[in-house]
Amino acid sequence: MTLEPAHKADRKPVYLAVYDTLADWETGHTTAYLARAGHEIRTVGLSGDPVRSVGGLRIQPDVTLDDVRPEDAALLILPGADLWDTGDELAPFARKAREFLESDVPVAAICGATAGLAREGLLDDRAHTGAVSFYLAATGYKGGDRYVETDAVTDGRLVTAGPTEPVAFAREVFALLGVYEGEVLDAWYRLFHDSDAQAYEILEAAGQ
């Protein structure tokens, strides 16, 4: 299914962070439909060395983190990974997220990446969600009163979601970037989240 995006003005690359143990299932809807909307998806690693996802996929980064500038990007996506909870190896990605947000460029974080942002202090003053509230509370962050019990949250230029909500995560990103809107955005979500056959008809009509 191919849909034309609602807006075509900004087609800067979208940067997908890649690192060992990244959760394959969390960002596929997002990147696939951003690519169909005309965004180049570029993988970014700490170095140029290949990484391997939790599902065993070998990924060769397109660029290194030091080479990514917010002004040249439409979005930074941070997937979950075991490494977010086993040390500070992925902390540079959270610091890069700070650069993006301070430059008013969107960031989308899911699962363990939300803990990385919490440790960086980026969730202290923003509404957010994640896997579960006590998971983020264990980071010692100060944003517990801004935690929202829902599938995905957008606050300003930041999207957050838990590991079981890749479709809601994608929906929030599409809305933030203006890729799909209104009835079409709702239909896309209902098709992929609820297997609503009637939603398919709406998307087909929009594609024509």
pLDDT tens for 69-90 read 999 999 999 999 999 999 999 9
pLDDT-based confidence at residue 10 (cuts at 50, 70, 90): low
The per-residue pLDDT for 9 is 45
Q: Which residues are catalytic?
A: 111
Spell out the SS3 assignment of the chain.
CCCCCCCCCCCCCEEEECCCCECHHHCHHHHHHHHHCCCCEEEEECCCCCEECCCCCEECCCEEHHHCCHHHCCEEEECCEHHHHCCCCCHHHHHHHHHHHHCCCCEEEECHHHHHHHHCCCCCCCCECCCCHHHHHCCCCCCHHHECCCCEEEECCEEEECCCCHHHHHHHHHHHHCCCCHHHHHHHHHHHHHCCHHHHHHHHHHHC
- The pLDDT value recorded for residue 5 is 47
> What sign does the dihedral 140-123-127-31 (CA atoms) show?
negative
pTM: 0.94
**90-149 tens-digit pLDDT:** 999 999 999 999 999 999 999 999 999 999 999 999 999 999 999 999 999 999 999 999
CATH architecture of 14-177: 3-Layer(aba) Sandwich (3.40)
Q: Domain coordinates of the chain in residue numbers?
A: 14-177, 180-208
Mean pLDDT, rounded, for 57-77: 98
Task: Determine the Cα–Cα distance for residues 156 and 168; give it in Å rounded to an integer.
Answer: 17
Per residue in 179-204, pLDDT tens?
A: 999 999 999 999 999 999 999 999 98
> Is the model's pLDDT at 6 over the cut of 80?
no
